Amino acid sequence: MEILYLNSARNCFRYLIKSFQIQEIYIPYYICSCIRHAAFDEGCRSNFYHINLDFSPCCEFPKNAYILYPNYFGVCSKIVERLAEIYPNLIVDNSHSFYSKCMGLASFNSLRKFFPQIRDGGLLHTPKKTSLNIDVEDYSYTPKFLTYDEICKNERRIDNLDMKFMSETTCKLFKTTDLDKEKKRRRMFFDNLEKIYGSTNMLKININYDDAPFCYPYLAKCEKDADGLVNKLKDKKVTVYRYWDNMPAGYPESLFYKCLVAIPIIIN
């Protein structure tokens, strides 16, 4: 596998579409809208699929189809393993699972979601390196922990990034990060959250021993319980994000928007 250093995870996905000349791909309904937009921008047709309440796909796919599957919240490595055994053209979105081993045809991840002082960048693991005419990102910044408003401003910037190689600033910060230390701290925090919330979590989390998830996904029994937990976390100055857009009531994924609380793993 080649490792390419690009300026965002969604641009890693765009690179794959270009590199493999993907004309059609299966994408879950439950995913960040930027991924759908990236496929559309590259002229790639999206066939959407539903997922079950354990995040596994509801359907089977054509054997050689291109399939994008997100390692949701970093707790779906076992599902990824099963899919990779069946579908040779599986592409894994590891934006929520930086430390997961590479499986499938290709995979990509996001630096800023795991290392708070890094503002952009994505690693693409691919068997195919293509000669695309792209520049190096020239954005520079001083590393620091961002406020909520600064995070939102940075997200809007990333929404408009052209596909480029990783900036020198981000590359230097990443290469000086103690990845093992950050992984151990993240896993310890996750395990502590599982001890606190596991008995009432409607999701039965079963992760690999070496996983270090993006957050702790807590599925409440009802929307009222979810809102109550969100308010308790807010009282502790913990910012909780919704994942992702709301969906029609008839979609099984609509329960996630209403009742899933993505408890952040806070590493300062």
Is residue 107 a contact partner of residue 87, using CB atoms and an 8 Å limit? no
Structure tokens at 184: 């151990």
Mean pLDDT value of segment 37-46: 96
User: What Cα–Cα distance (Å) separates residue 211 from each residue in 50, 53, 197, 208?
Assistant: 25, 20, 18, 5
User: Measured on CA atoms in the order 200, 203, 204, 208, is the torsion positive or negative?
Assistant: negative
Predicted pLDDT at 267: 66
As a whole number, the mean pLDDT across the chain is 95
In order, the DSSP letters of 246-262 are ---TTSTTHHHHHHEEE
Q: pLDDT digits over 103-120, tens only?
A: 999 999 999 999 989 999
Q: What is the pLDDT of residue 268?
A: 60
245 pLDDT band, cuts 50/70/90, is confident
Task: Give the mean model confidence (pLDDT) for residues 2-24.
Answer: 97
Angle in degrees, CA 21, 27, 28, rounded to 5: 170
pLDDT above 70 as % of the chain: 99
- Residue with tokens 């599925």, as numbered in its chain: 219
The predicted-structure confidence for 213-225, as pLDDT tens digits, reads as follows: 999 999 999 999 9
Q: Is 119 helix (H, G, I), strand (E, B) or coil?
A: coil
The predicted model gives 24-45 an average pLDDT of 96
Predicted local confidence at residue 241, as pLDDT? 87
Q: What is the pLDDT of residue 128?
A: 80
What would the pLDDT profile of 162-215 be if each residue is shown by its tens digit? Answer: 999 999 999 999 999 999 999 999 999 999 999 999 999 999 999 999 999 999
Q: What is the pLDDT of residue 132?
A: 86
Q: Report which of 111, 9, 2, 128 is spatially closest to residue 70, judged by C-alpha positions.
A: 9
Enter the pTM of the model: 0.95
Helix (H) or strand (E) holding 37: helix 33-41
Distance of CA 13 to the CA centre of its chain: 12
Arithmetic mean of pLDDT, 32-47: 96
How far CA 257 is from CA of 53, 123, 166, 254, 261, in Å, comes to: 12, 28, 32, 5, 8
pLDDT one-digit tens code per residue, 120-154: 999 999 998 888 889 999 999 998 888 889 999 99
Joined tokens for residue 168: 């020198």
Q: What is the DSSP string of 57-98?
A: BSS---TT--EEEE-GGG--HHHHHHHHHH-TTEEEE-TT-T
- Residue range 47-70: average pLDDT? 97
Q: What is the DSSP letter of 51?
A: B
Higher pLDDT, 1 or 212: 212
